[in-house]
Structure 1
Amino acid sequence: MIRPPLISAAELQQALAPSQTPPLVLDCSFDLADAAAGERSYREGHIPGALYVNLNEDLSGPKTGRNGRHPLADRADYARWMGRVGIVPGREVVVYDRQAAMYAVRAWWVLLWMGHRQVRVLDGGLAAWQAAGGPLSQQIAQPLPATPYPDAAPQRPTIDAQQLQQRLGDVLVLDARAPERYRGEVEPIDAVAGHIPGAKNRFFKDNLQADGRFKPAEQLRAEFAAALGGRAPAEVVNQCGSGVTACHNLLAMEIAGLHGAALYPGSWSEWSSDSSRPMEKSPRS
């Protein structure tokens, strides 16, 4: 059964009650400017029983300098990682972070891509958990390892740089980066500023309410319908800087009932590494 993509703090508290079969909780907190910060914050306090997941080490593959900052790992590597942390078919998994779900969504998408449907994102993250009276723990949880997750065909669509370049104009590219990065006014991370030609900007934080929880499904559906301009979700490619916050827009589309959009995993960090690919900037309107 496909679970709703979000779980509330109250629902998670109930699911973690001693009388229940608890879900496996993964803390995905991270900081692009300080790769060790996420684990430090986990050690300072996390949802009891949660395991720490590192964006660089667990959710990304080896970098070549031309495949982006957070390339996908091989499916066999993900299958082994899932086994190491105890993810087996049918096991409920909840992912969260401290950064508006911007990293938890990568774990959510990877698990779905690997065929694990029983995964949800904690709506509002750790702040929502604490606001609901949830306790924090400093005890380092230990996984219950299992065999590598059984591999199957990818369960979520992706597109690579060559395919995307061939289809520019035929698909709608949604760029999840901040507007000033999308326009090419600043570029604090990658070597080149700008965006993929024809891309539209949908800043991932626009998916959230002021309290850090996702907007209602109806509101997200209306906003994305306006952005898509009549295109079907299957004609949409989501990208960002390195294929991480693009998953935030993919989650928002799932909440809105808009299924089937693709991820460009390499995103701008891969695209801009090859000067032969077309790039553009947009003036502030």
Structure 2
Amino acid sequence: MTSLELPSALVSADWVAEHLGDERLVVVDATVIGSQTEAGFRWLSGLDAYLVDGHVPGAVFADLIESFSDPDGRFSFARPDLDRLRDAATELGIDDSRTVVVYDASLGQWATRLWWLLQSAGFPHVAVLDGGLARWVADGRALETGYEAPSPAGPLTLIEQSGWWADGDEVRRIVDGEADASLVCALPRSDFAGETGRFSRRGHIPGSVSVPVSSVVDRETKRFVDDEARDSAVSEVGDGRVVLYCGAGIAATGTGFVLRQAGRSDVAVYDGSLDEWSADPTAPLVTLA
């Protein structure tokens, strides 16, 4: 069985609706929910919303907090190794013959996180649903509730691709002028300025520019912005290698997704992001105050 051909890495709700029921297509809900609790900020699984509030018909649920993260990682959402990624993907019915479309109920950053994980592991047949669940509902399309059992999966070939990820050592070299790359912060501008933030040490990594994921996704429609707005948002990003970061390496994949769709090939995500950087008292942060 050959995989279903995607028109691009960003597909419309119309395209998904047209191909629902095709055994080659796996639609994945990757929603994670942020919640401010009495114990502090927490990430919660979107599974309950998927089950109760509804999902795209036939969509399976991906647990990005547990299954698609490294349980032994020092920080939340640490990327899994290839074996764990393969196990998590095949449990959703993903194999070499399947085409995957990912969506979420937020700004698309959870969908792009899973897209980034799969693409960086050499799985090419994956796209993001433009506008996510919000677009699906806005178009008046039906939702299903309850659990969707994944289809059995065959072999899944994953091979790590170079250049998609950066670590703290590379970011240090960029800050120290020992490596040539642009640093881009995908958090809200108020976090970049140091006015807000969930970390004890606020601000941004020195030398960074601000391109929040909210500048490349329309907050009302949840769709990625058009080419003109995209080009305006990323106009400050320099040539050459780009290393993006945020709080936990999630929003960074949203801005990174847009850069890659704009033809920038040397784009990486700092997986530890400020979870890791801010926890190191020797790692510099600056504010605009």
| TM superposition score normalised by structure 1 | 0.89
1:43 and 2:51 aligned: yes
Deviation at 1:257, TM superposition (A): 2.3
Counterpart of 1:274 in structure 2 is 280
User: Which of residues 118, 122, 126 is equivalent to 2:125?
Assistant: 118
Q: Distance in 2 between matches of 1:156 and 1:2?
A: 24
Following TM superposition, where does structure 1 have runs of at least 4 consecutive aligned residues deviating by more than 6 angstroms? none
> What secondary structure is seen at the aligned counterpart in 2 of 1:262?
strand
Q: Which is bigger in relative contact order (C-alpha 8 A, separation at least 6)? A: 1
Q: Distance in 2 between matches of 1:193 and 1:150?
A: 40
Q: Distance in 2 between matches of 1:88 and 1:3?
A: 19
Q: Is the 8 A contact 1:220 1:255 kept in 2?
A: no
Counterpart of 1:94 in structure 2 is 101
1:238 and 2:235 aligned: no
User: Which of residues 51, 66, 74 is equivalent to 1:57?
Assistant: 66
Amino acid at match of 1:61: D
Counterpart of 1:32 in structure 2 is 34
1:244-266 residue CA offsets vs partner (Å, 9 max, x unmatched): 11000111112322222111111
Deviation at 1:63, TM superposition (A): 4.9
Amino acid at match of 1:240: C
Amino acid at match of 1:108: W
Q: Distance in 2 between matches of 1:198 and 1:53?
A: 35
Task: Tell me: CA distance 1:2–1:275, structure 2 relative to 1, closer, same or farther (3 Å).
Answer: farther
How do residues 192-231 of structure 1 correspond to structure 2 at under 5 angstroms? 192-209=201-218, 210-224=220-234, 226-229=235-238, 231=239
Counterpart of 1:164 in structure 2 is 171
Q: Distance in 1 between matches of 2:163 and 2:150?
A: 27
Amino acid at match of 1:4: S
Q: Is the 8 A contact 1:173 1:200 kept in 2?
A: yes
Aligned residues: 274
Q: Distance in 2 between matches of 1:85 and 1:37?
A: 16
Q: Distance in 1 between matches of 2:229 and 2:191?
A: 25
1:48-74 residue CA offsets vs partner (Å, 9 max, x unmatched): 111111221122112554xx3221111
Counterpart of 2:17 in structure 1 is 13
User: Which of residues 152, 158, 161 is equivalent to 1:154?
Assistant: 161
1:6-26 residue CA offsets vs partner (Å, 9 max, x unmatched): 11111110011x4x4451011
| TM superposition score normalised by structure 2 | 0.88
Task: Tell me: CA distance 1:15–1:220, structure 2 relative to 1, closer, same or farther (3 Å).
Answer: same
Q: Distance in 2 between matches of 1:221 and 1:15?
A: 31
More helix by share: 1
Amino acid at match of 1:106: R
1:174 and 2:178 aligned: no
Q: CA RMSD in A?
A: 2.0
Task: Tell me: CA distance 1:142–1:191, structure 2 relative to 1, closer, same or farther (3 Å).
Answer: same
Deviation at 1:159, TM superposition (A): 1.2
More strand by share: 2
Amino acid at match of 2:217: L
Q: Distance in 2 between matches of 1:127 and 1:32?
A: 17
